[in-house]
């Protein structure tokens, strides 16, 4: 059975077993959220797709709107909402004008969106569906803790970015979305994920596979080009510094300390 059908079945089974009959997906204009929203729509279960611009780059918003239009034209179980959070974000930012930190504010955008998705989900007997892929979620930890990482289920978190693209092509997702440079859309400018990470997803995917291969146990950089060694260092740096996002929250166990 094809991966896409396995995921569709998994989503359908999870919904039935949890007695929750709505999927809620944030749509950004990127391929990950486009794929997840399409897979949810394929289940036949009510799917609410939500665009949440915060001073968004117009090209990202345009791609999101194109995808939403395509979804609604193809699936009669899809409804859409646009919740413009720019004013909410501006008010939040103003509160911290004397203690402003750009990275913290970028992450706050993601957390405002998470709060919005849960507001919609709880109001519609729904589940918030995650859109992170394997490289982001378990490789470099490229997501916001309690932001886009705050979800109920993660249907593509075991798929590499290349697998995401392949499924998106198979499902007929708009080519503009598949070809667009990946971006988290948290900065209000045109910086891409590659700009922030220093490597492409294809390179990071290679590094993730490499570190899990037999060569990783010989020595770091074994039989690698100079660029591959650089990518390994990038991958290992992010993997280490973001490990706190990828493991369970540390809990003090009293019986272990008596």
Query: pLDDT per position in the chain (258 positions), as tens?
Result: 799 999 999 999 999 999 999 999 999 999 999 999 999 999 999 999 999 999 999 999 999 999 999 999 999 999 999 999 999 999 999 999 888 899 999 999 999 999 999 999 999 999 999 999 999 999 999 999 999 999 999 999 999 999 999 999 999 999 999 999 999 889 888 899 999 999 999 999 999 999 887 555 445 556 789 999 999 999 999 999 999 999 999 998 888 766
Cα dihedral across residues 86, 194, 182, 237: positive or negative: negative
Is residue 49 within 8 A of residue 27, CB to CB? The reply is: yes
pLDDT value at residue 189: 84
CA-closest candidate to residue 149, choices 116, 111, 118, 106? 111
pLDDT value at residue 218: 45
E-strand stretches of the chain: 22-26, 46-51, 78-82, 126-128
pLDDT value at residue 43: 98
Question: And the tokens for 29?
Answer: 């204009």
- Whole-number Å distance between alpha carbons of 92 and 113: 13
- Whole-number Å distance between alpha carbons of 153 and 26: 13
- Whole-number Å distance between alpha carbons of 26 and 40: 12
For the chain, report the end-to-end CA distance as a whole number of angstroms: 51
CATH topology for the 3-187 domain? Rossmann fold (3.40.50)
pTM for the whole structure: 0.93
Q: How many CA atoms lie within 13 A of 239 on its CB side?
A: 16
* Domain boundaries, given as residue ranges, for the chain: 3-187
CA-closest candidate to residue 191, choices 90, 93, 57, 84? 57
Query: In angstroms, what is the C-alpha Rg of the chain?
Result: 19
């Amino acid at each position: 059975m094809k991966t896409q059908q396995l995921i569709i079945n998994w989503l359908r089974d999870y919904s039935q077993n949890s007695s929750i009959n709505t999927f809620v997906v944030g749509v950004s204009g990127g391929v990950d959220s486009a794929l997840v929203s399409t897979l949810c729509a394929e289940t036949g279960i009510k799917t609410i797709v939500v665009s949440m611009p915060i001073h968004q780059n117009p090209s990202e918003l345009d791609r999101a709107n194109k995808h939403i239009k395509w979804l609604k034209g193809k699936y009669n179980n899809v409804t859409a909402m646009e919740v413009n959070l720019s004013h909410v974000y501006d008010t939040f930012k103003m509160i911290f004008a004397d203690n402003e930190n750009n990275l913290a504010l970028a992450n706050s955008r993601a957390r405002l969106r998470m709060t919005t998705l849960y507001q919609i989900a709880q109001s519609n007997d729904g589940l918030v569906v995650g859109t992170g892929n394997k490289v982001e979620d378990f490789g470099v930890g490229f997501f916001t803790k309690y932001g886009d990482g705050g979800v109920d289920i993660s249907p593509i978190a075991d798929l590499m970015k290349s697998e995401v693209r392949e499924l998106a092509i198979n499902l007929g997702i708009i080519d503009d979305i598949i070809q667009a440079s990946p971006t988290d859309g948290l900065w209000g400018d045109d910086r891409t994920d590659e700009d922030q990470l220093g490597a492409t997803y294809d390179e990071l995917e290679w590094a993730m596979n490499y570190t899990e291969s037999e060569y990783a146990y010989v020595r770091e950089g074994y039989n690698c080009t100079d660029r591959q060694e650089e990518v390994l260092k990038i991958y290992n740096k992010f993997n280490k510094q973001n490990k706190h996002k990828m493991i369970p929250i540390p809990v003090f166990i009293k019986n272990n300390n008596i």
